[in-house]
Amino acid sequence: MRDGTGDMQTPFLQQLVDTDIEVFVFLVNGVKLRGRLAAFDKFSLALQASTSTQTIFKSAVSTICDASAAPIRTSSAGDSSRKAEHLPSLLETSVQYRRRVRLQ
């Protein structure tokens, strides 16, 4: 907490704007957005994608994370070339996982 205000969002979001890294923004309805955080204010975020800028209300955001995070591999040492196909990734919503498993 800085200055006794308890505001954690401002320094975190400002760092994302300053570093200009690509992020995933997960919404509370399960939608995953990808882009660079261009700006923010008290109530909204401006997410710059390759073709457009989206304004997102903070109340609709569930999670923001770095898009360049390495995927987690769950295979054993002897089976390192094969990906675990039936396990959900950290960035996959439960609905997407159920649909993917159902289609296999």
Residue 100: the pLDDT is 62
pLDDT beneath 50, residues of the chain: 1-2, 80-84, 87-88
Residue 80: the pLDDT is 45
pTM of the full predicted structure?
0.60
The CATH 2.30.30.100 portion of the chain extends over: 1-69
Residue 67: the pLDDT is 81
The secondary structure of 30-98, three-state, reads: CCEEEEEEEEECCCEEEEECCCCEEEEEHHHEEEEEECCCCCCCCCCHHHCCCCCCCCCCCCCCHHHHH
Residue 82: the pLDDT is 47
Residue 23: the pLDDT is 92
Q: 1-69 domain in CATH 2.160.10.10?
A: no
Residue 58: the pLDDT is 94
